Amino acid sequence: MADFIFADDYRLEEGATRNFYEEFLKGLVHKHNNLMGVIQGFSSLILYDEGISNEVRESAQQMQDAAKTASDLNREVLISSGCGRCDSDSISLDTVSTYWKSKAEEVCAAAGVSLQINFCEGLPSVSGDSGKLGNVFTQLIKNAAEGSAETPNGSVAIDVFPPGEASSGGTVDLFIRNTSVEMTDKSLKQSFVPFHTTKGAEHYGLGLATAAVLAGQMNSRLGLRYADGTTTAWLALPTA
């Protein structure tokens, strides 16, 4: 059985260096968003002019769309770089499971793949930030659905186990499995690299990088494994 490739290198350590780059990145994104706002504003003025040619209108629309995409990317960059505040609360999995199941069904239906969900009963609460944990789950389920869509009869399965049942680490263990094309250890490691994507220009390539950084902020551990046509994401969640 293949071993998991863990994203431990994406666990950002607290310190002066990290604080510097966090403030630097926040400032850069703020300035960049201001510039994108100017571009969006002027392109909107051009589009309001009914006398412009179709060629000019198309170019102005492309400018506006590109500026909006850049602003959306800036938001994703701040999240994936760990710049946001991360609270440590007690999270009831019984409470969040309804949303998780609904989100998984929505994502898998959009990708045209089947879904199976198994949440064990009596799961203890876990420690983390509920918003960030939801983001991690969303990124993982999107990645699984998109990966399984590349295979015939693609399918995704979610299992959540209490401490001691799937591992000996005392964590609540979330596994998301999907049918998959072959993945080498090298390609699994590259999956965590920011902006690395094999899914086309419309993808930012930040999904698993975001999941890895946010998991690290919450003292969770994220790993990937490929074996026998199946890719598995394992998120080990510390109990509250």
How are beta strands 155-161 and 114-119 bridged, if at all?
parallel
Instruction: Find, among 220, 237, 171, the residue nearest to 10 by Cα.
Output: 220
What is the count of structural domains for the chain?
A: 2
**Same domain? 111 vs 189:** yes
Residue 121 in tokens? 């009963």
Q: What is the per-residue pLDDT for 13?
A: 81
Looking at the structure, tell me whether residues 25 and 44 fall in a common domain: yes
Query: Over the stretch 187-230, which tens digit does the pLDDT of each residue have?
Result: 999 999 988 887 766 778 899 999 999 999 999 999 999 999 99
pTM (predicted TM-score): 0.86
Within the chain, residue ranges assigned H as helices are 16-48, 54-80, 93-111, 130-148, 185-190, 207-217
Output 230 or 75, whichever has higher pLDDT: 230
Whether residues 232 and 131 fall in one domain: yes
* Residue at 70 is within a domain: yes
Domain final residue, candidates 40, 57, 80: 80
- pLDDT (tens digit per residue) in 27-71: 999 999 999 999 999 999 999 999 999 999 999 999 999 999 999
Lowest average pLDDT, out of 77-86, 128-137, 185-194, goes to 77-86
Same structural domain for residues 45 and 158? no
The answer to whether position 116 is within a domain reads: yes
Judge if 66 and 106 occupy the same domain.
no
* Range of the structural domain that residue 48 is part of: 16-80
Are 142 and 201 in a shared domain?
Answer: yes
- Mean pLDDT, the chain, whole residue set: 92
Residue 5: inside a domain, yes or no?
A: no
The reply to whether 168 and 107 lie within a common domain is: yes
- Tell me if 3 is assigned to some domain: no
Question: Does residue 1 belong to any structural domain of this protein?
Answer: no
Q: CA-CA distances (angstroms) from residue 216 to 5, 115, 181, 227? A: 15, 27, 27, 25
The Cα 140–Cα 230 span in angstroms is: 14
- Counting residues of the chain whose pLDDT is more than 70, the rounded percentage is 98
Q: Are residues 96 and 197 in the same domain?
A: yes
Do the domain assignments include residue 46? Answer: yes
CB atoms within 10 A of CB 6: 20
Q: Tally the residues of the chain.
A: 240
Q: Identify the domain boundary among 80, 97, 117.
A: 80
